[in-house]
Structure 1
Amino acid sequence: VIMAHSVDEYGFKRADDFDEEMYQEFRSYYFPVLARRLRKWEKIKDRISSVGKSSLKYYVRKGIPYSIRPRAWFVVSGCIERRDLNSDLYTQFLKGPFQEDMKESIRIDIPRTFPDNIFFQRPEDGHLLPLYNVLLAFGSSTPEIGYCQGLNYVAAVLLLITKSEDTTFWLLYYLVNDCLPDYYGKQMKGLLIDMAVLTDLVKSRIPAVGHHIEDMGVDWGLIATKWFLCLFIEVLPFETVLRIWDCLFLEGDKILFRVSLTIIKLLEKDLLEASNAGEIVDCFKKFFICKTVLNCHQFMKAIFKIPGSLSRAEIRKLREKHS
Structure 2
Amino acid sequence: IKLMCRQGIPVQYRSDIWRRLIYAKISDLKQEKGEFYFGHLITRAYDSLVGYYRKQIFIDLLRTMPTNINFSSADAEGIRKLKEVLLAFSFHNPSIGYCQGLNFVASMCLLFLDTEDAFWALVAITEKYFQPTYFDKSLTGANIDQEVFQEMFSQKLPVLYAHVKKFDLEFSTITINWFLALFIEVVPFQTLLRIWDCFLMEGPKVLFRFSLAILQKHQEVLMEQREVLGLLKCLKNCTKLLLDVDGLVKTAFGELKPFPKRHSITTRQLHFEKI
TM-score > 0.5 by shorter chain: yes
2:200 maps to which residue?
Answer: 249
How far off is 1:276 after superposition?
A: 2.4
Q: Deviations over 1:172-230 (max 9, x none)?
A: 11111121222211010011111111110011111111222223232221221211111
How far off is 1:121 after superposition?
A: 2.1
8 Å contact kept, 1:267–1:283 = no
Does 2:62 correspond to 1:119?
no
When structure 1 is superposed on structure 2, of 142-151 and 272-281 the one drifting more is 272-281
TM-score if structure 2 supplies the norm length?
A: 0.91
Aligned length: 265
Q: Deviations over 1:129-179 (max 9, x none)?
A: 1100000011111100101101011101110122x1011001111111121
8 Å contact kept, 1:213–1:219 = no
Aligned match of 1:304 in 242, 253, 261? 253
How far off is 1:122 after superposition?
A: 3.2
Write the distance in 2 (CA, Å) between the matches of 1:90 and 1:107.
Answer: 20
Write the distance in 2 (CA, Å) between the matches of 1:297 and 1:80.
Answer: 31
Q: Deviations over 1:48-76 (max 9, x none)?
A: xxxxxxxx211221111222112111212
Q: What are the residue-to-residue correspondences of 1:1-323 with 2, within 5 Å?
A: 56-77=1-22, 78-79=24-25, 81-82=27-28, 83=30, 86-96=34-44, 97=47, 98-162=49-113, 164-181=114-131, 182-290=133-241, 293-308=242-257, 309-323=259-273
Write the distance in 1 (CA, Å) between the matches of 2:76 and 2:142.
Answer: 35
8 Å contact kept, 2:214–2:239 = no
Write the distance in 2 (CA, Å) between the matches of 1:95 and 1:272.
Answer: 54
8 Å contact kept, 1:195–1:224 = yes
Q: CA RMSD in A?
A: 1.7
Q: Secondary structure at 2:256's aligned position in 1?
A: coil
How far off is 1:125 after superposition?
A: 4.2
Q: Secondary structure at 1:127's aligned position in 2?
A: helix
Write the distance in 2 (CA, Å) between the matches of 1:160 and 1:153.
Answer: 11
Write the distance in 2 (CA, Å) between the matches of 1:213 and 1:295.
Answer: 24
Q: Deviations over 1:19-57 (max 9, x none)?
A: xxxxxxxxxxxxxxxxxxxxxxxxxxxxxxxxxxxxx21
TM-score if structure 1 supplies the norm length?
A: 0.78
- Structure 1 segments, 4+ long, off by >6 Å, are none
Q: Which one has more relative contact order, counting CA pairs under 8 Å at least 6 apart?
A: 2
When structure 1 is superposed on structure 2, of 253-262 and 237-246 the one drifting more is 237-246
8 Å contact kept, 2:6–2:197 = yes
Q: Secondary structure at 1:288's aligned position in 2?
A: helix
8 Å contact kept, 2:25–2:128 = no
Indicate the percent of aligned positions where both proteins have the same amino acid: 31
Question: Higher Cα Rg: structure 1 or 2?
Answer: 1
8 Å contact kept, 1:113–1:120 = yes
Could you list the runs of 5+ residues in structure 1 that have no partner in the other structure?
1-55
How far off is 1:249 after superposition?
A: 0.9
Could you list the runs of 5+ residues in structure 2 that have no partner in the other structure?
none
Write the distance in 2 (CA, Å) between the matches of 1:247 and 1:146.
Answer: 27
Q: Secondary structure at 1:99's aligned position in 2?
A: helix
8 Å contact kept, 2:186–2:239 = yes
How far off is 1:123 after superposition?
A: 4.1
